[in-house]
Amino acid sequence: MAELTTDQAYRAMFEFLKRYWERTGADDVGALLSDLQLFEDGVSGDPAALQDWRDCVAYVMKTEGREAAE
């Protein structure tokens, strides 16, 4: 499987959650999606959530001894 950039992984995670929400209608997932959505200009519905994602990716990559691809 090809490696994803941090931004591609974010969009894949968003798509995964969106599909879960579409199947279940879970309100908490819907609220999370509204925070995580990216607008046309690339700005997040909640910029802090996008930064949290990047921080988590950096943490995982660091613990695996790798650098995150932006």
Q: Which residue ranges of the chain lie beneath pLDDT 70?
A: 1, 67-70
In a domain, 69, yes or no: no
Structurally, the chain folds into a number of domains equal to 1
Distance CA 24, CA 53 (A): 24
Q: What pLDDT score does 44 carry?
A: 85
Q: What pLDDT score does 41 carry?
A: 87
Contact 4, 68 (CB under 8 A): no
17-31 confidence digits (pLDDT tens): 999 999 999 999 999
Q: What pLDDT score does 33 carry?
A: 94
Q: What pLDDT score does 68 carry?
A: 58
Q: What is the pTM of this model?
A: 0.80
Longest dimension (CA), the chain: 38
In a domain, 14, yes or no: yes
In a domain, 70, yes or no: no
In a domain, 57, yes or no: yes
**Residue 51 is part of which domain span?**
6-63
In a domain, 37, yes or no: yes
